[in-house]
């Protein structure tokens, strides 16, 4: 009988991706099957994120809740992975004796080994090392292709933006080889994937080799566009500083590359951007957008924003609101600045009050939502090429698709044959978080 695995994931897309890989490797090597009930589990994994929240306390609270399950079921194993584990691994081992395994984002492929060892020696195991790229070579080949599949092309980040813990928790940038990535995409495409979403913290600095020479994201995208069955290509996250000309050119040369990009600006104030160590100013950012729009006038841009960075004045915040008006960003993410341990910004006084931070976040989010909803309303009456992802979450009698700008569209269909295909949908209603339409093939 398969053993049961329960995984709880905090945080980003990258963590979702890593959790999927954990499930896969444990299924492959230890015959674990996912369960949605923590009470049924033989192994519980918490994949943690330390980018923003008061992450550490959240982890100890969660462990406390699982302790009660373990009291009744002593054979239950608890494993803590992800960025909090990477930064606080030793502390977790000391403070939470019920934890059996601690592993970092770069050592998740060693989970089966750590699990076996813990059972054999009956002693908690920890591995939070950064073995270069070993993680990728240990992954079993994809066994199914979702209509849209994430493929990680690099790990870590060297940018050291002053507010960010990622370089500390995920280590330095290492890229996979182009051959390795293309091979994975070919397998996914044969199994039904139509859209590839390349993932990494800083994908435009991708430096994997191709035929022994250093390649680029642009070259990887061009090669991907040629793979049979791949109809759409996306990538996140790209840093405005390294969005090189060959990548801009890819919008002219690769029709599969979608006319939508997530390009985090963080702030509209040049003074704050400098303190954030982002390495671009608003002028450079706006010029980049112009360059891309020259090639693709219909291009849409989304962003991440941080409000309340140390020293952010009303004037700085207004500059952020102004850039939102200039670019008219599509659906974006915005966050309240939170001081992260060991980051350069943690040396600066976190001097914007919680109240001011919250007010600024509300103002920014209201405006971002208004603009995004405006784009949704503009789509009403048009026909959009959409990729059918699966069943609608709200109404299983309907299917769910995604537009090029990544909006969810629910529509009526007979059966499930269209899942994984690109279809034309006439949009006839815009709701705050989705669209409704009818097939128009």
Kindly list the residues in this chain that would bind ligand F3S in the complex (CB under 6 A): 157, 159-161, 164, 166-167, 201-202, 239
Counting contacts by CB under 6 A, is residue 241 touching ligand SAH?
A: no
Contact between 267 and ligand SAH by CB under 6 A: the answer reads: no
Q: Which is nearer to ligand F3S, 193 or 334 (CB)?
A: 334
Query: Which option in ligand F3S, ligand SAH, none does residue 160 bind, with CB closer than 5 to 8 A by kind?
Result: ligand F3S
In the complex, least distance from residue 350 CB atom to ligand F3S, rounded to whole angstroms: 17
Residue 237 engages ligand SAH in binding (rule: CB under 6 A): yes
* Both structure tokens of 146: 């979702």
**Which position's Cβ is nearest ligand SAH?**
304
Q: Which two tokens stand for residue 67?
A: 């302790």
- For 243-271, the DSSP string reads --HHHHHHHHH-TTB-SEEE---B-S-HH
DSSP string spanning 91-151? HHHHH-TT--EEE-TTSGGGHHHHHHHHHHHTS-EEE----TTHHHHTSPPPS---SEEEE
Residues touching ligand SAH: how many (CB under 6 A)? 18
Specify burial of residue 429 (Cβ count, 10 A radius: 0-12, 13-18, 19+).
middle
**Given the complex with ligand SAH, which of 166 and 399 has the nearer CB atom?**
166
164 labeled part of a ligand binding site: yes
Nearer to ligand SAH, 52 or 91 (CB): 52
Point out which residues pair with 424 in neighbouring strands. Answer: 385
**Smaller CB separation from ligand F3S, 69 or 348:** 348
CA 87, 346, 339, 327 dihedral sign is: negative
In sequence order, what DSSP letters do the residues of 317-381 get, joined into one string? Answer: HHHHHHHHHHHT--S-EEEE----TT-GGGGS---S-HHHHHHHHHHHHHHHHHHHHHHHHHHTT
Interface residue with ligand SAH among 35, 201, 215, 216 (CB under 6 A) is 201
Pick one of 5, 41, 46, 51: the residue that binds ligand SAH (CB under 6 A): 51
157 is in an annotated binding site: yes
Which partner in ligand F3S, ligand SAH, none is near 337 (CB below 5 to 8 A by kind)? ligand SAH
| CB of residue 233 to ligand SAH, shortest distance in Å | 19
266 contributes a contact to ligand SAH by CB under 6 A: yes
Which run of H or of E encompasses 213? strand 213-214
Q: How far apart are CA 323 and CA 282, in angstroms?
A: 8
What token pair was written down for 32? 């674990």
User: Binding site, residues?
Assistant: 12, 49, 83, 157, 161, 164
Q: Which residues bind ligand SAH (CB under 6 A)?
A: 51-52, 157, 163-164, 166, 201-202, 237, 239, 264, 266, 304, 306, 335, 337-338, 340
């Amino acid at each position: 009988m398969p053993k049961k695995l329960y995984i709880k994931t905090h945080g980003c897309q990258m963590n979702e991706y890593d959790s999927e890989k954990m499930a896969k490797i444990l299924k492959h090597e230890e015959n674990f099957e996912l369960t949605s009930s923590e009470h049924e589990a033989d192994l519980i994994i918490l994949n943690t994120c330390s980018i923003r929240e008061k992450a550490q306390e959240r982890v100890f609270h969660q462990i406390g809740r699982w302790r009660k399950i373990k009291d009744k079921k002593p054979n239950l194993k608890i494993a803590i992975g992800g960025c909090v584990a990477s930064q606080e691994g030793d502390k977790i081992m000391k403070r939470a004796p019920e934890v059996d395994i601690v592993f970092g984002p770069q050592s998740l492929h060693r989970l089966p080994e750590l699990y076996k060892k813990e059972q054999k020696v009956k002693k908690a195991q920890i591995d939070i090392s950064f073995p270069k790229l070993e993680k990728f070579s240990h992954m079993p080949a994809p066994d199914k292709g979702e209509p849209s599949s994430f493929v990680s092309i690099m790990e870590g980040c060297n940018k050291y933006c002053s507010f960010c813990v990622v370089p500390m928790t995920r280590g330095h940038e290492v890229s996979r080889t182009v051959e390795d990535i293309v091979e994975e995409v070919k397998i996914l495409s044969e199994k039904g994937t139509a859209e590839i979403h390349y993932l990494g913290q800083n994908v435009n600095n991708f430096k994997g080799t191709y035929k022994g020479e250093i390649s680029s994201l642009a070259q990887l995208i061009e090669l991907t566009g040629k793979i049979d069955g791949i109809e759409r290509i996306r990538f996140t996250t790209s840093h405005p500083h390294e969005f090189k000309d060959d990548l801009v050119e890819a919008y002219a040369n690769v029709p599969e590359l979608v006319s939508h990009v997530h390009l985090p600006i963080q702030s509209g104030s040049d003074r704050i951007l400098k303190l954030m160590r982002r390495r671009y100013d608003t002028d450079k950012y706006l010029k980049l957008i112009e360059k891309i729009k020259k090639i693709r006038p219909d291009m849409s841009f989304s962003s991440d924003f941080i409000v309340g960075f140390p020293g952010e004045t009303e004037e700085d915040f207004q500059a952020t609101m102004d850039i939102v008006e200039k670019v008219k960003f599509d659906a974006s993410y915005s966050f309240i600045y939170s001081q992260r341990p060991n980051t350069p910004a943690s040396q600066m006084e976190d001097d914007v009050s919680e109240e001011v931070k919250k007010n600024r976040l509300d103002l920014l989010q209201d405006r971002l939502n208004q603009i995004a909803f405006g784009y949704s309303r503009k789509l009403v009456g048009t026909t959009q090429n959409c990729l059918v992802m699966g069943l609608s979450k709200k109404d299983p009698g309907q299917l769910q698709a995604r537009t090029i700008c990544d909006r969810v569209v629910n529509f009526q269909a007979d059966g499930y044959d269209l899942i994984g295909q690109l279809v034309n949908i006439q949009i006839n209603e815009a709701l705050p978080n989705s669209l409704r339409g009818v097939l128009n093939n």
